[in-house]
Amino acid sequence: MSKLIAGLAHINLLVPPGTFDQAEAFYAGTLGMTRVPVPVMQKDTLAWFDITPGGKEVHIAFGTNEDQKSPRHPCFKIESTEALLKLQSKIWEHFNSTETKGKPTEVDKPGERDSGEQSFEYPKRFFARDYAGNRLEFSL
């Protein structure tokens, strides 16, 4: 039997209504993703960000995250230990900055133990929460 699922196309995360500017600040500004056009009929209700050029995406939609401490999360694969540390430091700087637009609500401090379950089976990683409370994992 052949595989029916060939990969992952996108993930969808919820943010409060009217906060696409904050999504732009965090997902494009801090994480370095590229904002891409959405279908014309949905331009006021969705924002899309490319993770890889022409490939996998993060879709941002208006909605309410009922549980701001939910363990649900996507995991973004990072290409190297150096890139992982660089990204963690960038998110940490945004978290500690006076800039409030798109400011993450949590991030594991660089150089310290990550906030996830601890086991030798887990790769090098860290966690953060975007400005809307969405938990994000970044891993080798």
pTM: 0.87
Q: Give the per-residue pLDDT at 126.
A: 92
Q: Give the per-residue pLDDT at 14.
A: 93
Cα 97 versus chain centre, distance: 18
> pLDDT tens for residues 119-137?
877 778 899 999 999 999 9
Would the pLDDT of 17 be above 80?
Answer: yes
> pLDDT tens for residues 92-108?
999 999 989 999 999 99
Q: Give the per-residue pLDDT at 44.
A: 87
Q: Which residues pair with 129 in a beta bridge?
A: 106, 135
The DSSP line for 20-43 is: HHHHIIIIIIIT--EEE---GGGT
Q: Tell the burial category of 110 from Cβ atoms under 10 Å away from its Cβ (0-12, 13-18, 19+).
A: middle
Cβ density class 20-32: b for 16+ within 10 Å, e for less: bebbbbbbbbbbe
> pLDDT tens for residues 36-84?
999 999 888 899 999 987 778 999 999 888 877 788 899 999 999 999 9
Would residue 12 be called left, alpha or beta, if left means φ above 0 and alpha means ψ between -120 and 50 degrees?
beta
The residue behind tokens 């409030």 is 100
- In degrees and rounded to multiples of 5, residue 50 shows phi and psi of -75, 130
pLDDT, average across residues 33-37: 93
Q: Give the per-residue pLDDT at 121.
A: 75
Q: Give the per-residue pLDDT at 26.
A: 97
Q: Give the per-residue pLDDT at 4.
A: 58
For residue 36, count other CB atoms closer than 10 A to its CB. 12
Strand spans (E) along the chain = 10-15, 34-36, 46-50, 57-62, 75-77, 106-107, 125-129, 135-139
Would the pLDDT of 2 be above 90?
Answer: no
Q: Give the per-residue pLDDT at 105.
A: 95
Positive or negative: CA dihedral 7, 54, 136, 127: positive
